[in-house]
Structure 1
Amino acid sequence: MCREGSPSRHTPPDICTSAGVAAGIDLCLHLVRRDHGSRIANDVARSCLVPPWRDGGQAQYIQRPVPDPTATGTAPTQAWVMEHLAEPLTPADLAAHANMSVRTFTCRFHDETGTMPGQWLIRQRVDLARHYLETTDWSVDLVAHRAGFGTGVSLRRHLHAAIGVSPQTYRRTFRPASTAA
């Protein structure tokens, strides 16, 4: 609970209290959000592996880095994909970019990342959609299109499979009511 106001005889200056560890984390994120904005609070929450705005029952919101594009193997193609997420991409497109056969690319990609190219591509698109949900007022259909899912239905299915929430719930979680459209 926060009581924020100017000091006077009857009102103490900016006093915030919480009870319990989770409530303390919520309070800290509230103060960061108030003083530095939602983007910084979201980054702090991610680094602490907690949601910045709790409704309850959410998965952990973790960003996954992409390897250095100057590395050998499939890293240059992974970096290229990140610039073309909104486009339809097939395993053959990725293999062609890497100058490999689909089979060689798939094996090498799996060896390097521990996942199949299609699964990795969906994860990157989900991460991009999450970014758009946090930072724009775009409709779910527009977010889906810009993130490469094509339709809102596809985005809803993939986001729910990845983190267990709908796009609207995710947006509410990462954008307090005062900033969400």
Structure 2
Amino acid sequence: MDWARAHLDRPLTVADLARRARSAPRTFARHFTEATGTTPARWLVAQRVAEAQRLLEAGELSVEQIAGRCGFGTTTMLRRHFLRIVGTTPTAYRRTFARA
């Protein structure tokens, strides 16, 4: 999990995470879900959104740059997942929580 958090900018898949854990993808997914209560894919999206929140609060990067750094690829994907998880858009979140 620490490795995945350090590599959020990469296009990570469950197969990639399983390989890193030296496990078969189905076995990895089953154990991961048992241990965390969520699927690897959902966990990864949540981690990417959390990193986007941190970067938005810092206020130094554009939303486009944040989307790339967090592994979303496009601002559309960032916005879609961010809105679903946080309940607001990245831009509105930045306006509210950016450090002065």
Q: Considering the TM-score relative to the shorter chain, is it more than 0.5?
A: yes
The number of residues matched between the two structures is: 100
Q: Partner of 1:115 in structure 2?
A: 38
TM-score (norm. length: structure 1): 0.54
Equivalent-residue separation in structure 2 for 1:160 and 1:82 (angstroms): 21
1:87-126 matches, within 5 Å, as 87-126=10-49
Which runs of 5 or more structure 1 residues have no equivalent in the other structure?
1-77
Deviation (angstroms), 1:136: 2.7
Larger radius of gyration: 1
Contact 2:59/2:94, CA 8 A, preserved across alignment: no
Q: Partner of 1:143 in structure 2?
A: 66
Equivalent-residue separation in structure 2 for 1:174 and 1:166 (angstroms): 12
TM-score (norm. length: structure 2): 0.96
Q: Cα deviation per residue 1:22-55 (whole Å; 9 max; x = unaligned)?
A: xxxxxxxxxxxxxxxxxxxxxxxxxxxxxxxxxx
Deviation (angstroms), 1:171: 0.4
Deviation (angstroms), 1:173: 1.1
Equivalent-residue separation in structure 1 for 2:40 and 2:14 (angstroms): 7
Equivalent-residue separation in structure 2 for 1:167 and 1:105 (angstroms): 32
Q: Cα deviation per residue 1:111-139 (whole Å; 9 max; x = unaligned)?
A: 00000000000000000000000003311
Give the partner amino acid of 1:155.
Answer: L
Q: Partner of 2:81 in structure 1?
A: 158
Equivalent-residue separation in structure 1 for 2:17 and 2:28 (angstroms): 8
More helix by share: 2
Which structure has more relative contact order (CA 8 Å, sep 6+)? It is: 2
Identical counterparts, % of pairs: 46
After the TM superposition, which segments of 4 or more aligned residues of structure 1 sit over 4 Å from their partners? Answer: none
Q: Cα deviation per residue 1:51-95 (whole Å; 9 max; x = unaligned)?
A: xxxxxxxxxxxxxxxxxxxxxxxxxxx111011011010111000
- Aligned residue for 1:100, secondary structure, equals coil
Q: Partner of 1:21 in structure 2?
A: none
